[in-house]
Structure 1
C-alpha cells in the first residue's frame, strides 16, 4: 500500500506530498528528503544500542553516498584496487605475519627447553592458537550439485558465452543448489573458481535476467572483490575468530574465595581482550566492505554488458522482491509445477508491483544502508545502471535455448522443488 500525506505531511524542502510504504517513515519521492533518516522501528539493530546504530547508519549513509557519487561520474571498467582494498590487503599481511610468528614461537618453546617444562605447555597453546587462526581456503559446499559438461552442455556453453562477452574467466566448477541466491567464489589452495546457481532463483528468471545473473556473478572474478582474494580473508575473518576464542564462557565454576577471585579476574581480562578484538574486527570489516560495495557496482556493469541495461535492471527488481518470488516458487512447487510456472508467477508478481517498484527502490536506500553491508542498496545499484549510457544485450538467451537448459536441470529442479515446498 502506498500512502501520500499532504498538509502537515508535506516535504519541508520542496512542498510535495510525502510518501510511505510498508509503514516506513515518510519521505519525499521527489527530492528524497528524509530518505536517509534512521527508522528504528524497521531497521534491525546492528550493535545493540540504538544511539550507536543511529550514528553508524548516518556514517554508512555518508560513505555510501560519497562512493556512489565518485563512481557515477566515471567509467566502471577499472579493476584496480581501491584504497579500502589496498588497506585490507596490508592489514591481512600483517595478521598473517603475526600468526606465523605465534606458530614459530610455539615451536621454539617446544624445543628450546628440556622436557618436562612449563614452556612446553605455553608452546602447545601458541601452536593451537595459530592453527585456530590460520587462513581458511574453503571448499565446494556439500549441498552444491556439481554439473559436468556432459550433464549440462547447454548451460556450460551459455556460461562460457557470457564470460567471453565481459572478458571474465570461466569457472572451474559449475554447480547448483536449492537457495534463492547465486554466488561466485574461489575455493581450495589453488583458488579454483566456483559458480553456484540457486535453482529457485534461476528458474524464476526470464532469459535476459538469467544472462544478467551470469554476467554479474562472473564479473566477480575480474572486479577486484576483496571478499574473494586470498590475501584479504585474514582481515575479514581472523580478528572475529580470535574475539570468539577469548570470549568468556558463561557460568561460574570456581570453589572457594581465591578461585572465585581468580576466575573473576580472568573473565575481566579475557572479556576485555575479546571486546577489543571484536571492535578491531568491526572496524576492518567496515573498511573492507567499502571495496566490496564498489565491486558490486562493477559486477552490475558486467551484467549490463552481457544482458543489456534492461536485463540487468530486471534482475535487480527480482532481487528486491525475493519474498514475493520465494512465495511464488513455494506455492508452484507444492502444486507440482516446475520452472515455467515459477517464471510466469514471478512475472505476474512484478507486473502487479510495477507502480510501487520506484518507491521500493527508494526505500531500499534507507533500509539496506549499513557499515557492514556487502552490497550497496539495490536502489542505488538500479540508479547507477539507469544513469549510465543504455546498453544493448551482447548475449541473447532464446526461449528455446532456455528450455533446453531447463531440461538438462530437470532432476535438480525436482530436488530443489521438494526442498522449497517445505521451507518457510
Structure 2
C-alpha cells in the first residue's frame, strides 16, 4: 500500500506543493526540487559511513544526470566503447599481463636454481597466486531450464523475429527460471550467448511488454555493454578476487609474545593489501558501470523499436513494481491459475496504480541512483523513452500467439507456480 501525501511546505523553486510517498523525504513533483537529495532513512548504506554515502550519492547523482542530459537529445545508436569502456579494456589488458608475469616468474623460479632451494617455494606461491587470480568466464546457471526449439518452437520463432527487427544475433541458449527477472549473458571462452526469462515476470506481461522485454535483453548483444565483453572481464573481477584472497582470517593465536606480534602484524598487512585491492576494484567497477548504464538506454531504445514505446514504458512500470508482480503471481498460483490470470491481475494492478506511478518513477531517480548501479533509475529510463519520437511496435504479439507460447511452457509454469505459491 502506497500512501501519497502532500508536503508541509511549498517548493522554494516553483511554489508547488511538495509530495512524498512511502515516508520518503518530500520533493517537488513539478520541478523535482530535492529529488536528488540523500535520504539516509530509506537508502541502504554503501560504505557504512553516512558522510561518505552522502557524498558518493551526490557524485552518482551528478554523473547520472549528466549522462541522461548528454543522451536525451541525440540518436541512440551503438557507437562502440565509450571512454569508460576503453579505460576498462586497458586495465583488463594490464591485469592479464600482470597475472601472466606472475606465472612466468613462478615457473622460472622452479628451474632457475639447483634443487632443493627456497626459490621453489616462492615459485609455487607465485604460480598459485596466478591461478587464483586468473580470469573466470562464467558458465550457464545450473537453475536455468534450457528450452530447445523442439520444446518451444513458437517462443524460438518470436525471439528470432525480435532479433531480426533490432539487428541482434540469436542466443545460443534459451531458458527459463523462477525469478521475477530476465537477463542475457555470455559465458565461456567462446562467449556463448544465453537468454533467460523469469517465468513469473514473463507470464505477468501482456503481449507487447513481452516483445519489449525480448527487445531489451537481446539488445544487450549489440549495445556495447562493457559487462558482456570477454576483454573487460579481468578488470571487473580480478581485483575483487584478489581482495578476497588477501582478506585476513581468524588465526590460531600463538601462545608466545612473538607469535602474537607476528600474527597481529600479518593481519594488519593482509587487511591493508585487501582494502587497497578492493578500493581499486570499486573504482574500476564504478567507472565501467558508467558505460554500462549508457548501454541500458540503448537497450531500452531497442525495446521500444521491437515492442513499441507503449510496450517498453509499460515494461518499465512492471519492473518498477516487482513486489506487485510477486503478489499477483503468488495469489493466482495459490488459486491454481496460470499465466492468463497473472496477466489479468497485473493489468488490474497497473490500472489501480496509475495515479501514483509518476511519483514512484520520480522517487526511483533518488533511490536507485548509485555509483555501483548497473542500470540507470527507472524514472530516467521512462523519461528517456517518452522524450524520444514515439515508436509503433515492430513486432506484434497477438493474444492467440501468446497463448500458444504459454501452452509450450505449461509444465514449467506449473513448477514455477508451486515455487511461488509458498515463497515468502
TM class, shorter-length: over 0.9
Q: How does 1:93-108 map to 2 (within 5 A)?
A: 93-108=93-108
How far apart are residue 25 of structure 1 and its match? 0.2
Alpha-carbon distance in structure 1 between the residues aligned to 2:331 and 2:116? 67
Query: What do the CA deviations read for 1:14-60 (whole angstroms, capped 9, x no partner)?
Result: 11100000000000001100000000000000011000000000000
Instruction: Name the structure 2 match of 1:364.
Output: 364
Alpha-carbon distance in structure 2 between the residues aligned to 1:64 and 1:227? 18
Instruction: Name the structure 1 match of 2:389.
Output: 389
Q: How does 1:273-292 map to 2 (within 5 A)?
A: 273-292=273-292
Alpha-carbon distance in structure 2 between the residues aligned to 1:94 and 1:36? 37
Alpha-carbon distance in structure 1 between the residues aligned to 2:348 and 2:79? 38
C-alpha contact 2:5 2:21 (8 A) present in aligned 1: yes
C-alpha contact 2:78 2:222 (8 A) present in aligned 1: no
What is the total number of aligned residue pairs between the two structures?
422
Query: What do the CA deviations read for 1:298-321 (whole angstroms, capped 9, x no partner)?
Result: 000000000110000000000000
Alpha-carbon distance in structure 1 between the residues aligned to 2:311 and 2:46? 33
C-alpha contact 2:78 2:224 (8 A) present in aligned 1: no
How far apart are residue 195 of structure 1 and its match? 0.5
How far apart are residue 127 of structure 1 and its match? 1.1
Alpha-carbon distance in structure 1 between the residues aligned to 2:74 and 2:92? 29
Q: How does 1:120-159 map to 2 (within 5 A)?
A: 120-159=120-159
Stretch deviating more after TM superposition (176-185 or 251-260): 251-260
Secondary structure of the residue that 1:3 maps to in structure 2? strand
Stretch deviating more after TM superposition (359-368 or 129-138): 129-138
C-alpha contact 1:79 1:222 (8 A) present in aligned 2: no
C-alpha contact 1:305 1:391 (8 A) present in aligned 2: yes
The answer to whether residue 210 in structure 2 is matched with residue 205 in structure 1 is no
Instruction: Name the structure 1 match of 2:312.
Output: 312
Instruction: Name the structure 1 match of 2:76.
Output: 76
Secondary structure of the residue that 1:213 maps to in structure 2? helix
Stretch deviating more after TM superposition (338-347 or 38-47): 338-347
Stretch deviating more after TM superposition (246-255 or 290-299): 246-255
RMSD after superposition:
0.9
Instruction: Name the structure 2 match of 1:5.
Output: 7
Alpha-carbon distance in structure 2 between the residues aligned to 1:392 and 1:345? 25
Instruction: Name the structure 2 match of 1:324.
Output: 324
Instruction: Name the structure 1 match of 2:172.
Output: 172
Query: What do the CA deviations read for 1:191-245 (whole angstroms, capped 9, x no partner)?
Result: 1110010101100000000000000000000000011001111111111111111
Instruction: Name the structure 2 match of 1:34.
Output: 34
C-alpha contact 2:5 2:20 (8 A) present in aligned 1: yes
Alpha-carbon distance in structure 1 between the residues aligned to 2:405 and 2:83? 41
**Structure 1 gap ranges (5+):** none
Secondary structure of the residue that 1:19 maps to in structure 2? strand
C-alpha contact 2:292 2:374 (8 A) present in aligned 1: yes
Instruction: Name the structure 2 match of 1:399.
Output: 399
Alpha-carbon distance in structure 2 between the residues aligned to 1:341 and 1:357? 22
Alpha-carbon distance in structure 1 between the residues aligned to 2:55 and 2:162? 42
Query: What do the CA deviations read for 1:325-347 (whole angstroms, capped 9, x no partner)?
Result: 11111121122211111111111
Instruction: Name the structure 2 match of 1:295.
Output: 295
| TM-score normalised by length of structure 1 | 0.98
How far apart are residue 422 of structure 1 and its match? 2.0
Alpha-carbon distance in structure 2 between the residues aligned to 1:198 and 1:388? 29
C-alpha contact 1:214 1:303 (8 A) present in aligned 2: yes
| TM-score normalised by length of structure 2 | 0.98
Secondary structure of the residue that 1:283 maps to in structure 2? helix
Instruction: Name the structure 1 match of 2:226.
Output: 226
Alpha-carbon distance in structure 2 between the residues aligned to 1:377 and 1:398? 30
Alpha-carbon distance in structure 2 between the residues aligned to 1:307 and 1:335? 31
Instruction: Name the structure 1 match of 2:413.
Output: 413
Secondary structure of the residue that 2:196 maps to in structure 1? strand
The answer to whether residue 258 in structure 2 is matched with residue 258 in structure 1 is yes
Stretch deviating more after TM superposition (150-159 or 112-121): 112-121
How far apart are residue 79 of structure 1 and its match? 3.4
Alpha-carbon distance in structure 1 between the residues aligned to 2:137 and 2:206? 34
Alpha-carbon distance in structure 2 between the residues aligned to 1:245 and 1:68? 38
C-alpha contact 2:212 2:307 (8 A) present in aligned 1: yes
Secondary structure of the residue that 2:174 maps to in structure 1? strand
C-alpha contact 1:4 1:20 (8 A) present in aligned 2: yes
Instruction: Name the structure 2 match of 1:54.
Output: 54
Secondary structure of the residue that 2:7 maps to in structure 1? strand
How far apart are residue 354 of structure 1 and its match? 0.5
Alpha-carbon distance in structure 2 between the residues aligned to 1:63 and 1:121? 48
Instruction: Name the structure 2 match of 1:24.
Output: 24
The answer to whether residue 123 in structure 2 is matched with residue 118 in structure 1 is no
